[in-house]
Amino acid sequence: METNKPVKSNSRKAFKYRQTECLNCGQSLDLSDRYCSYCSQLNTSKQLSVRDFISEFVGSILVYDSRLRYTVKDLLFKPGTITFNYVGGKRLKYANPFRFFLSVSIIYFLLQGLITTFSSGKSPFLNLNNNGNPVSLDSLQNKNLTFPNGNGSLDTLVISGNTFKINSDTIAETPKKTEKVFEYISETDLDTLDWSNRLVERFSMYRDFYKLHDIKNADVALDSLKHRNTSFNRWVYNKNSAFDRIADDPFGFLNYMMGKTPFFLFFFAPFFAFFFWLIYSKSKYTYMEHMIFIFHIFSFLFLAFLICLIPDTFLNDGVFSGIVFALIGPFYFYKALRNFYKQNRLITIIKFVFLNIVFWISSTFAALVFFAISAAAY
Ligand SMILES: [Zn+2]
């Protein structure tokens, strides 16, 4: 095909620049070879001119661009067929399914996070500027300040003009001033409990202490409580500020959780693929090929959500995403099963229902575990 095109005499593809050995990999070549048969580099000894360099650069972008275009087009309009083609050997035509899925979903959540941040005017992170004015230390008392890294970066707190120095005396005195009695539990007392009670008691005591004294710094708090300054204790204590951050800005927390979804799906897919492998055991596809099918489905969903993001933002509700989720998604999934596994309608419908049940039950369970872990790390 390519060899039939006429070549200009000064082109890098011109015959006079051909060699019998590839400059890139050393594969021996014929003078009729326009490209190396091993590494596919252009067979030319011509020195690079500005024009050559630019056209090579643009060419590489266009190749990537055409892959992307094919992938998006076939993913949207040829459910299942894209997987059928890819698995059947048309690899270079399409983007890598795993990379494509991760890119699309991450772009989706980044964009969604940006839109949420700007449309609600709420930043998931603390705005320390306080509208250009420095934060007055008195305001610390009334305002629940949150720290993006989860660690209070204040070593000494100055509240109402007094340096808040923490020592055992203040602990002994302060509870008398408040109505709620602070029940102090020493490390030795905690050691007598079994591990689950110990954790609960430790956390609830730290929570009370935190509410009472408003000390964000775990080192300071543990020191005044005379508890061991271990990384675990600091972690437990720092959950206090995470609690406040969630209460302060639930949207920020939701965004944080949603942002984890691509990774969740990425690790969930191998498990889900197992069920495909099970109910399509008679098909010729390998476990890996079922997985590619799943990644194509996930990619479609995120691509569709990405497209819906702009109109949904303007209408200020999720009507388009809702339609994708409730109607287009299931229909697409059914069509994809039909086109990829090529079974008749009835069998496909039965498998469709089974896979949906499996998906919802197992993903709910896996999501609970996954999000509990994410929340612990928040
Ligand atoms: Zn080569």
Average pLDDT over residues 94-101: 91
- Residues 93, 85: Cα–Cα separation, whole Å: 9
Cα 7 to averaged position of ligand 1 atoms, centre (Å): 21
Question: From the CA of 27, how far away is ligand 1's center (Å)?
Answer: 5
Distance 24 CA to ligand 1 centre (A): 5
CA of 122 relative to ligand 1 center, distance in Å:
55
CA 41 / ligand 1 centre spacing (Å): 6
pLDDT digits (tens, 9 = 90+) for 161-181: 444 444 444 444 444 444 567
Identity of residue 341? Y
Among 71-80, 90-99, 200-209, 310-319, whose mean pLDDT is lowest?
310-319
Tokens of 72: 């998006």
How confident is the model at residue 128, as a pLDDT? Answer: 38
Q: Can you list the pairs that 210-215 forms with residues at least 24 positions away whose Cβ atoms lie under 8 Å?
A: 210/237, 210/240, 212/174, 212/175, 212/178, 212/180, 212/182, 213/164, 213/166, 213/170, 213/174, 214/140, 214/141, 214/157, 214/159, 215/152, 215/157, 215/164, 215/166
Residue identified by tokens 């014929």 is: 30
Phi, psi of 21 (to 5 degrees): -145, 140
Instruction: Report pLDDT for 197.
Output: 84
5 DSSP 8-state letter: S
Residue 296's pLDDT band, with cuts at 50, 70 and 90, is very high
User: Looking at residue 230, what is its pLDDT?
Assistant: 87
Residue 25 C-alpha to ligand 1 middle, in angstroms? 4
What is the Å distance from ligand 1's center to 86 Cα?
26
Average pLDDT over residues 298-315: 87
Are 138 and 161 contacting, i.e. CB atoms less than 8 angstroms apart?
A: yes
Residue 160, phi then psi, degrees to nearest 5: 50, 40
pLDDT tens-digit map of 150-159? 444 444 444 4
Kindly report, residue by residue over 308-331, the tens digit of the pLDDT.
888 887 887 778 888 888 899 999
Dist. CA 73 → ligand 1 center (Å): 32
Burial 52-83 (b: 16+ CB within 10 A, else e): beeeeeeeeeeeeeebeebbbebbeeebbbbb
Task: Of 260-274, 320-334, 364-378, give the lowest mean pLDDT range.
Answer: 364-378
Retrieve residue 74's tokens. 């076939």
Do 370 and 260 form a contact (C-beta atoms < 8 A)? yes
φ/ψ of 206, rounded to 5, equals -60, -35
CA of 38 to the centre of ligand 1 (A): 5
Say if residue 291's pLDDT is above 80. yes
How far is the C-alpha of 242 from the C-alpha of 240, rounded, in Å?
5
Rounded to the nearest angstrom, the distance between the alpha carbon of 40 and the centre of ligand 1 is 6
| Mean pLDDT over each residue of the chain, to the nearest integer | 78
Distance 35 CA to ligand 1 centre (A): 8
How many angstroms does the Cα of residue 47 sit away from the middle of ligand 1?
Answer: 17
The vertex-366 CA angle with 203 and 349, nearest 5°, equals 155
Distance from the alpha carbon of residue 94 to the mean position of ligand 1, in angstroms: 23
Whether the model clears a pTM of 0.85, i.e. scores above it, the answer is no
Q: Which long-range contacts (CB under 8 A, 24 or more apart) does 276-280 make?
A: 276/355, 279/351, 279/354, 279/355, 280/341, 280/351
Residue 7, pLDDT above cutoff 80: no
* Ligand 1 mean position, distance from CA 16 (Å): 18
**pLDDT tens for residues 226-246?**
888 888 888 888 888 777 777
Distance 297 CA to ligand 1 centre (A): 37
What is the model's pLDDT at position 153?
40
**Dist. CA 32 → ligand 1 center (Å):** 14
* pLDDT band with cut points at 50, 70 and 90 for residue 75: very high
Q: Would you state the structure tokens that stand for residue 143, as one six-digit string?
A: 């305002």
Domain residue ranges of the chain, discontinuous segments joined by + = 1-46, 70-121+255-377, 139-248
